[in-house]
């Protein structure tokens, strides 16, 4: 049948000549390309050991900040959890007892604070919602792991290290 | 009597206040009120957020009133013309009032249990400036426990006197009032005497801010993560209607409050047994979910509604399966 678009090309299949049938020159050519790459600078990097420079507004792992006196800033107001489109954040509030004033800044604090890193989409809305400047996504890429439960990060992983240590 | 509020006319009875006439019309033109409470006699006139402009006093005397008036305390006259949101003067004055109310308010909304259903928060959001001009220290007080179930944070109080009227009118003898005068006024009980009346818990409901809070709900959860459900029970206490709103978190009732209407006023008062002691689903007859305004933060981020796909709507088998799946997912 005749083509309507008239773009079809008719290909001629020619029989291979002697050099083409021999294959060896083509193999040698291919290997020489491979070999030449041994002496070029690689475009990839060995990731966990080497790291590329992140952009300034890169959003990685969350950290719960401390204030200048080393007290936790988070007051468990729940606005991060409310703003989270992936519903990755949960928390439980507790009341600060007498004598804990050097640990927590406000009279209420987050006793449990969990982020499910498999749910998190790193949009940074929690950072924007936080009225206490307590949460920032300034960490690294989340490391891989084998079990799903290990991706639920609690306060032990999220809270910033104390100042004097 | 005919009164016109923001170009909307209504016939009301003599003796009605401008605020109540506006509430009969309803909608956006209702002035906000922090201290007026229709269920409490003598309330109103303290906070000045309900200021309106009367541009025509009455039919007989059409002169405007010289100053803005508190609509909760001013009764209507025949032919009165009132401006609320149509007058820039009123909006400006209200902004000033909000700034004034926020002068001593600690703005600890992230900590406060009232956040999310606080009238001062709404008012500040609508009228207030983003920043304060006040440079001095705010006045501070220690927290006081009034009985074992109610906590008073005097720092957050805006001195609306609603709780004082409640303690006066609902309870049988006076144990709660305002101490000192003017700038130094504070709500208190007589030397931290416990308020142990059967209806004392209602002071929590009438408080427009988080000054009086429920200790059994203290820091348990944020209001917007809980699910309000209307319920009732046969209450033995005399004078208690037993109609409440239960605030669920998962399967647990974490708070019981009176049923509030669109102006944040409880329909009927409830007793302390209903409020503090009956926190099991088995104690209550559930009527259905409470209607929450679309604009309210309580309504945000609630994704778990049953919305079947168009194909599911026609097929009863799929419909049943979808329901089961939904129930399983919400339980998890």
Q: Mark whether B123 and B66 lie in a shared domain.
A: no
Q: How many CB atoms are closer than 10 A to CB B137?
A: 7
C-alpha distances in Å from residue B234, one per residue of B205, B231, B256:
21, 11, 15
Asked if A78's CB is within 8 angstroms of B224's CB, the reply is yes
Q: What share of chain B in percent tops pLDDT 70? A: 91
| Residues of chain A that touch chain B, judged by Cβ-Cβ distance less than 8 Å | 75-79, 81-82, 87, 93-95, 106-108, 131-132
Q: Mark whether B308 and B253 lie in a shared domain.
A: no
Residue range A32-49: mean pLDDT, rounded: 92
Residue B113 is assigned to a structural domain of this protein: no
Q: Mark whether B138 and B194 lie in a shared domain.
A: yes
Q: Which residues of B touch A131 (CB under 8 A)?
A: 109-110
Q: Mark whether B163 and B237 lie in a shared domain.
A: no
Asked if B297's CB is within 8 angstroms of A82's CB, the reply is yes
Point out the domain boundary residue: B72, B101, B130. B101
Res A12 pLDDT > 90: no
Residue B236 is assigned to a structural domain of this protein: yes
Q: Mark whether B251 and B268 lie in a shared domain.
A: yes
- The whole domain housing B75 covers 2-101
Q: Mark whether B263 and B184 lie in a shared domain.
A: no
> Which domains are present in chain A?
63-158 (3.30.70.3270)
Residue B111 is assigned to a structural domain of this protein: no
Asked if A78's CB is within 8 angstroms of B225's CB, the reply is yes
Cβ–Cβ < 8 Å for B59, B48:
no
Q: Mark whether B19 and B68 lie in a shared domain.
A: yes
Average pLDDT, chain A: 90
- pLDDT per residue as tens digits for the range B191-234: 556 566 788 888 899 999 999 999 999 998 899 888 899 999 98
d(CA B283, CA A19): 93
The count of domains in chain B is 4
Look at residues B23, B30, B16 and name the one whose alpha carbon lies nearest to residue B78. Answer: B16
Better pLDDT: A122 or B186: A122
Q: Which residues of B touch A132 (CB under 8 A)?
A: 110
- pLDDT per residue as tens digits for the range B270-300: 998 999 998 988 889 988 888 887 778 887 7
Per-residue pLDDT, B139: 87
Task: Kindly indicate the confidence band of residue B311, based on its pLDDT and cuts at 50, 70 and 90.
Answer: low
What tokens were used for B47? 């906070």
- pLDDT per residue as tens digits for the range B127-177: 877 888 888 888 888 888 887 888 888 899 998 889 888 888 877 766 677
Per-residue pLDDT, A10: 81
Res A88 pLDDT > 70: yes
Point out the domain boundary residue: B70, B101, B132. B101
Q: Mark whether B15 and B97 lie in a shared domain.
A: yes
Per-residue pLDDT, B329: 66
Q: Which residues of B touch A81 (CB under 8 A)?
A: 225
Q: Judging by beta carbons within 10 Å of its beta carbon (0-12, 13-18, 19+), is residue A5 exposed, middle or buried?
A: exposed
Q: Which residues of A touch B226 (CB under 8 A)?
A: none
Distance from chain centroid for Cα B185: 22
How far is the alpha carbon of A82 from chain B, nearest alpha carbon, in Å? 7
Task: Kindly indicate the confidence band of residue A90, based on its pLDDT and cuts at 50, 70 and 90.
Answer: very high
Point out the domain boundary residue: B199, B215, B231. B215
Q: Which residues of B touch A82 (CB under 8 A)?
A: 222, 224-225, 297, 300-301
Q: Mark whether B177 and B198 lie in a shared domain.
A: yes
The residue among A80, A93, A125 with the most chain B CBs within 10 A of its CB, best to mutate, is: A93
DSSP string, B264-308: S-BSS---HIIIII--SGGGSEEEEEPP--TTSGGGTT-------
Q: What is the pTM of this model?
A: 0.79
Residue B108 is assigned to a structural domain of this protein: no
User: From the list B111, B115, B221, which residue is nearest A106 (CB)?
Assistant: B111
Q: Which residues of A touch B303 (CB under 8 A)?
A: 87
User: From the list B115, B219, B297, which residue is nearest A94 (CB)?
Assistant: B219
Better pLDDT: B48 or B190: B48
Residues annotated within a binding site of A for [4Fe-4S] cluster? 74, 77, 80, 84, 120, 123, 126, 130
Helix (H) or strand (E) holding B20, with range, is helix B18-25
| Residues of chain B that touch chain A, judged by Cβ-Cβ distance less than 8 Å | 108-111, 115, 218-222, 224-225, 297, 300-301, 303
- pLDDT per residue as tens digits for the range B73-121: 999 999 999 999 999 999 999 999 999 999 889 888 999 999 989 999 9
Task: Kindly indicate the confidence band of residue B312, based on its pLDDT and cuts at 50, 70 and 90.
Answer: low
Residue B110 is assigned to a structural domain of this protein: no
Residue B107 is assigned to a structural domain of this protein: no
Residue B26 is assigned to a structural domain of this protein: yes
Per-residue pLDDT, B317: 78
Asked if A107's CB is within 8 angstroms of B222's CB, the reply is no
Asked if A93's CB is within 8 angstroms of B219's CB, the reply is yes
Per-residue pLDDT, B197: 76
Res A19 pLDDT > 70: yes
The domain that holds B20 is classified in CATH as 3.10.20.740
CB pairs under 8 A between A and B: 38
Residues 6+ apart with CB under 8 A from B163: B176, B187, B203, B206, B207, B212
Residue range A122-129: mean pLDDT, rounded: 94
Q: Mark whether B96 and B6 lie in a shared domain.
A: yes
Residue B106 is assigned to a structural domain of this protein: no
Q: Mark whether B126 and B185 lie in a shared domain.
A: yes
Q: Mark whether B81 and B133 lie in a shared domain.
A: no
Give the residues across from B154 on adjacent strands. none
Q: Which residues of A touch B297 (CB under 8 A)?
A: 82
What tokens were used for B67? 């100053």
The domain that holds B175 is classified in CATH as 3.30.70.20
User: From the list B218, B221, B300, which residue is nearest A95 (CB)?
Assistant: B218
Task: Kindly indicate the confidence band of residue B307, based on its pLDDT and cuts at 50, 70 and 90.
Answer: low
Q: Give ipTM to 2 decimals.
A: 0.75
Return the residue of B nearest to A93 by Cα.
Answer: B219
């Amino acid at each position: 049948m005749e083509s309507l678009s008239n773009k079809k090309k008719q290909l001629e299949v020619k029989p291979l000549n002697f050099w083409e049938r021999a294959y060896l020159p083509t193999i040698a050519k291919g290997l020489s390309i491979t070999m030449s790459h041994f002496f070029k600078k690689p475009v990839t990097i060995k990731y966990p050991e080497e790291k590329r420079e992140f952009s300034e507004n890169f959003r990685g792992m969350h950290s719960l900040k401390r204030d200048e006196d080393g007290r936790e800033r988070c007051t468990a107001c729940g606005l991060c959890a409310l703003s989270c489109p992936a519903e990755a954040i949960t928390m439980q509030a507790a009341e600060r007892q007498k004598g804990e004033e050097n640990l927590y800044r406000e009279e209420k604090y987050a006793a449990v604070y969990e982020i499910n890193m498999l749910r998190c989409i790193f949009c940074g809305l929690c950072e924007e919602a936080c009225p206490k400047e307590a949460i920032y996504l300034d960490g690294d890429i989340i490391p891989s792991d084998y079990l799903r439960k290990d991706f639920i990060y609690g306060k032990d992983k999220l809270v910033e290290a104390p100042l004097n240590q | 009597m005919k009164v016109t509020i923001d170009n909307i006319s209504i016939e009301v009875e003599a003796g009605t206040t401008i605020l109540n006439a506006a509430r009969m019309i309803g909608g956006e033109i209702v002035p906000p009120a922090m201290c007026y409470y229709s269920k409490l006699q003598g309330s109103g006139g303290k906070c000045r957020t309900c200021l309106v402009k009367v541009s025509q006093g009455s039919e007989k005397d059409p002169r405007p009133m010289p100053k803005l008036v508190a609509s909760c305390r001013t009764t209507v006259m025949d032919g009165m013309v009132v401006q609320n949101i149509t007058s820039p003067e009123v909006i400006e004055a209200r902004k000033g009032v909000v700034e004034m109310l926020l002068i001593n308010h600690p703005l600890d909304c992230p900590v406060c249990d009232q956040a999310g259903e606080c009238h001062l928060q709404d008012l500040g959001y609508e009228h207030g400036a983003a920043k304060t001009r006040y440079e001095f220290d705010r006045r501070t007080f220690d927290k006081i426990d009034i009985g074992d179930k109610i906590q008073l944070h005097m720092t957050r109080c805006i001195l609306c006197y609603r709780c004082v009227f409640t303690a006066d009118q609902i309870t049988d003898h006076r144990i709660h009032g305002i101490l000192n005068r003017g700038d130094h006024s504070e709500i208190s009980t007589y030397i931290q005497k416990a308020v142990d009346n059967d209806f004392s818990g209602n002071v929590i409901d009438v408080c427009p801010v988080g000054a009086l809070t429920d200790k059994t709900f203290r820091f348990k959860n944020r209001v917007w993560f809980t699910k309000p459900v209307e319920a009732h029970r046969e209450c033995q206490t005399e004078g208690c209607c037993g109609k409440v709103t239960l605030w669920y978190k998962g399967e647990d009732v974490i708070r019981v409050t009176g049923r509030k209407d669109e102006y944040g006023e409880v329909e009927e008062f409830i007793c302390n047994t209903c409020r503090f002691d009956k926190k099991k689903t088995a104690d209550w007859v559930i009527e259905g979910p409470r209607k929450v305004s679309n604009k309210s933060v309580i309504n945000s981020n609630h994704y778990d509604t049953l919305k079947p796909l168009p194909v599911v709507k026609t097929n009863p088998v799929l419909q049943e399966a979808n329901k089961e799946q939904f129930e399983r997912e919400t339980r998890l």
